[in-house]
Amino acid sequence: MAAVGEKLLDTFAGHNFLRGLSERHLMKLASGVRPFTAQPGEYLAREGEVARAFYLIQAGRAELGVQPPGKEMIAVQVVGPGDVVGWSWLVPPYLWQFSCRALEPVRGLCLDAQWLREQCEQDHELGYCFLKHLLGVFAERLAATRRRLIDGKAR
């Protein structure tokens, strides 16, 4: 059984988003992680709904986008292995700010949003590390969106 736990921890710790976290923080987060899968067309998140999870993508691709009422989703960015989906779980009122739909079979690890908020509240060092990592994701996605707008490729 220990070998299975070690394999999960290695897989979990090897995700791009988690690199640089202390072993103590990795162990704490690994205790709350569960695997997930999504099939093409399946939503991981729907804009405006309660954000109940934080996703670490390990395989497959999904598109992030906005969904105007009564219209199809407008893709903003594609995410894949090593990327994450979800920061809305961290900001009240905890509603998804974007939709996320699988383009192909997606596999990864998921953390429950409420549990993750509690861990960050109880361990401020963990919360600070998580925020720093999320800020890097924000900056990268904002830069990608900016480049698309400048290039005139926004749909």
Does 123 map to a domain? Answer: yes
Beta partners for 78?
63
Full-model pTM: 0.87
Does 121 map to a domain? Answer: yes
**Helix (H) or strand (E) segment spanning residue 112:** strand 106-112
| Residue entry with tokens 């998804």 | 96
Containing structural domain, residue 125: 2-150
Distance (Å, rounded) from C-alpha 123 to C-alpha 75?
A: 35
Q: Mean pLDDT for each 10-residue chunk of the chain (155 residues)?
A: 55 83 90 95 96 97 90 90 93 94 97 96 94 90 80 61
Does 70 map to a domain? Answer: yes
Does 78 map to a domain? Answer: yes
- Report the CATH number at residue 106: 2.60.120.10
Distance (Å, rounded) from C-alpha 121 to C-alpha 123?
A: 6
Check residue 151 and give its pLDDT: 80
Check residue 56 and give its pLDDT: 96
The tally of domains found in the chain comes to 1
Check residue 53 and give its pLDDT: 97
Check residue 141 and give its pLDDT: 81
Does 119 map to a domain? Answer: yes
Distance (Å, rounded) from C-alpha 30 to C-alpha 114?
A: 15
Does 155 map to a domain? Answer: no
Does 104 map to a domain? Answer: yes
